[in-house]
Every structure is written in structure tokens, then in C-alpha cells.
Structure 1
Amino acid sequence: MTRTFSIAEAASITGLSAHTLRYYEQIGLIDPVARRGGVRRYDDDDLRWLQFLVRLRATRMSMREMKRYAQLRRAGAVPDGVTERKTMLERHAATLETDISLLGETLVLIREKIATYETLERSIRRADGVAPIHPRPISGEHGEGDVHEDACARSRRSAGVGHRSRLHGNERLLRRSRRR
């Protein structure tokens, strides 16, 4: 005998709420679920299909497309339906590949920005005398000036030695960050 699951168990397994499970049944995303004594019972096939729907939704497939896919699935292995389902998934996969590529590029930019802020934090600490100054150039955020040079000049000024160097864009950033 095949094991079945209550709506609460199915909700727990799939991560969907009981309300969403009922809604998916109502709009035709899932076939009407077998009932025993008026209580919905989900089998393994139902859960696999629900988990697939969760994945499609998580990858931003529209409800309209998901309903069309479910409709074609219900029609069975008819040639046109199989071809259309395959085409839908190919289009969705291409969209995901583009999204993944863009996300990868964005992640690289975010990591670069984090590294820039870490560099600025080190410069601020050096300028405040918290960390020793090391004569290693540090590129500024957005290509503005030399943060290391600015930090050294600031240290010299605060110590009352040296000359006043030209202010760079990052000097303003350093001043602003100290006020916060």
C-alpha cells in the first residue's frame, strides 16, 4: 500500500502552506487530491509534482506558465503537448542561465565593493593611528585618488608634521565615515 500524507504533512514536506496547497488544487496546478473521509491525502507522485512546482516558482516562472505546463502534463504524452512542455522548459532554462550569469557578474561587483570598503576601513584605522602605516598603495573607491597617500597625509597633519597634500575624493569619504 502506498503511503499518503495529510495536508499538514504535505505542507511540511514541500514548504508550502496548507492554504497554498488548496489554492494550487483550486486553480488547476495540481490534480484534485484523493480524499478519505473528506480529508485530502497526498501520495508520493503528488509530492514530487509539488516540489517541482516549488522549484519553478522559486525560479520565477509565472503562475500562468505553470498552469499551462500543468494543463499539458495532464493531457499526457501526446506529441504536441510533450513538445510544448519541452519548449517551455527550454525557454525557462535559457532565462535561468541568463539570470545566473548576471547574478555571477553582480556577485563579482559586490565582492569588489566589499574589498574596497575593507581597504577604506584599514585606511581609516591607519589615519586614526589604530594600525601601523604600511607603505603599500591602496587604490581608491571609484578610482578616486590614492587612499594610502591621503591617510598618510592626514596622519602627518594630525601629528603636526609634514606638508598639506592635495585633497582627493577619498579624503572626503574618510572624513564623512569618521563622523558616523
Structure 2
Amino acid sequence: MTITEVSRKCGVTPDTLRYYEKIGLLPPVQRTAGGIRNYSNIDCEWIEFIKCMRYVSIPIEVLAEYVELFMKGDETAERRKNILMEQREKIREKIKQFQDVEAHISYKIAHYDEDILPAERKLREGFLNDRVNE
């Protein structure tokens, strides 16, 4: 597949695909005799993996390390697994943080008219009074 075809299939711009390859997130892509990138289905699977990992904010450096280790073969399997487990734990921590924020927002929504709105009015009045007195 050409870079344009893969771009459409995977929802990633051609510039992003070139960047991923340049910085080592994507293993080197096969090229035609004329030097044109010729992506395979395996390349598309890598791209989907990268997209998934980036979606949850896994750092580029971590992904690049993972790809580098992958290219070294099975002797790095344990380290690659550890990288994935470390990132899973970070994602779980973020999920917990999001759940806490969601609970806080849900509380505010449930109590908005009777508790939150009056409290916000007092805060705003105090804030505005402080600004006037400065």
C-alpha cells in the first residue's frame, strides 16, 4: 500500500507516518525499487498499535524504546512485557483520577441548584469585591 492508502486506512496523515518512521516508532517500511514506501498489513497493525498507545498519552520515547527492543528479538521479550505492564499501571492510575473527577462533577450536577449555585454566587461576589477594593 502507498503512504496515501495507509493514511486513509489508518486515519494518520502522511507526514505523521513519515515522522513515526523517522523517529523509530514504526519499524523501517519496505520500499519499491523506485524508493516509494510500500506498506504491508503488518505495518498497519504497528500504526494502529502506535495510535492506541498515543491516544492514552504513552510517551513517544517509551514507544520508541519498545520498537527498538522488538527489533532486537525474543531476548527482549521480558523487558517489552514490563514496559507494557508499567504503562497499563499508569493508565489505571489515570482512569482512577478520571473517575474521581467524574464523581466530583456528578456531585456538583446533582446538588447544583440548592448548594453549588448559591456557593458560587458568594465566591463570585467575594472575588469581585476584592477586585474593586484593590
Q: If the length of structure 2 is used for normalisation, what is the TM-score?
A: 0.81
| Residue deviations 1:8-59 (CA, integer Å, cap 9, x gap) | 1211222221011111111122122112233211111000011101111111
Pairwise CA distance, 1:98: 0.9
Residue identity in the other structure for 1:99: K
Structure 2, unaligned runs of 5 or more: 125-134
CA distance, structure 1, for counterparts of residue 78 and residue 120 of structure 2 = 60
Structure with the bigger percentage of helix: 2
Q: Which residue in the other structure is 2:5 paired with?
A: 9
Q: Which runs of 4+ in 1 moved over 6 A?
A: none
Q: Which residue in the other structure is 2:36 paired with?
A: 39
- How many residues are treated as equivalent by the alignment? 122
Structure 1, unaligned runs of 5 or more: 121-138, 143-169
Q: Which residue in the other structure is 2:85 paired with?
A: 90
Q: If the length of structure 1 is used for normalisation, what is the TM-score?
A: 0.62
Match status 1:65 vs 2:65: no
With over 3 angstroms needed to count, the CA separation of the structure-2 counterparts of 1:172 and 1:56, relative to structure 1, is closer
Q: Which residue in the other structure is 1:141 paired with?
A: 116
CA distance, structure 2, for counterparts of residue 15 and residue 88 of structure 1 = 26
Q: Which residue in the other structure is 2:131 paired with?
A: none
Q: Which residue in the other structure is 2:107 paired with?
A: 112
Output the aligned Cα RMSD. 2.1
CA distance, structure 2, for counterparts of residue 171 and residue 75 of structure 1 = 60
Match status 1:55 vs 2:52: yes
| Residue deviations 1:50-97 (CA, integer Å, cap 9, x gap) | 11011111111111111100000111111xx11110111111000101
Q: Which of 1 and 2 has higher RCO (CA within 8 Å, sep 6+)?
A: 2
